[in-house]
Amino acid sequence: MTPAVKVLEKADVDFSLATYEHDPRSPAYGEEAAHALGLPAEEVFKTLLACLDDGRLVMAIVPVPTQLDLKALARAAGARKARMAEADAAERATGYVVGGISPLGQKKRLPAFVDASAEALDVIHVSGGRRGLEICLAPTDLITLLTGRFVSLARAP
């Protein structure tokens, strides 16, 4: 199993796994997961990494149909500006490949911010650490495991 699944097993939290056949031609991994698993897109969250103006990397977890508000993320992280991290930097920091970056079990523990919309949901789905694997868990369990915060980060595309 992936490092993300091992973290969940060690923490003894309730979770489930869902798998699907990943299509390498798919341009949007989160949308592919929602469609393949028949889930509401608002319950599937993507893990994005951003680089702050002071060079720190931070993690934002937002619903698939939305875009990350970089200004809101920068404010939440105590910085002036944020930009999306380069793919190779994200992969080095997390140990996962783009499209399969799980918020759990990363090589480096990064500050984590989960969009506040997750608070209203009983469960959310996040990447399990590889393309084609999703983890379903309570948003409060995710926040606890990440030592993260709920923050309004998402905006309409």
Question: With contact defined as beta carbons under 8 Å apart, do 118 and 124 qualify?
Answer: yes
Do strands 112-115 and 57-63 pair parallel, antiparallel, or not at all (unpaired)? Answer: parallel
Per the confidence metrics, is the pTM higher than 0.75? Answer: yes
Q: Residue 29: name the closest of 120, 112, 129 by CA.
A: 129
User: The sheet that has 124-127: what strands, in order across it?
Assistant: 15-19, 133-137, 124-127
Tally of CB atoms within 10 A around 119: 11
Q: What is the 3-state secondary structure (H, E, C) of 88-137?
A: HHHHHHHCCCCCCCCCCCCCCCCCEEEEHHHHHCCCEEEECCCCCEEEEE
Looking at the chain, how many residues does it have? Answer: 157
For residue 139, what pLDDT band results from cuts at 50, 70 and 90?
very high
* Interval 19-75: pLDDT, tens: 999 888 887 888 999 999 999 999 999 999 999 999 999 999 999 999 999 999 999
* Interval 96-111: pLDDT, tens: 999 999 999 999 999 9
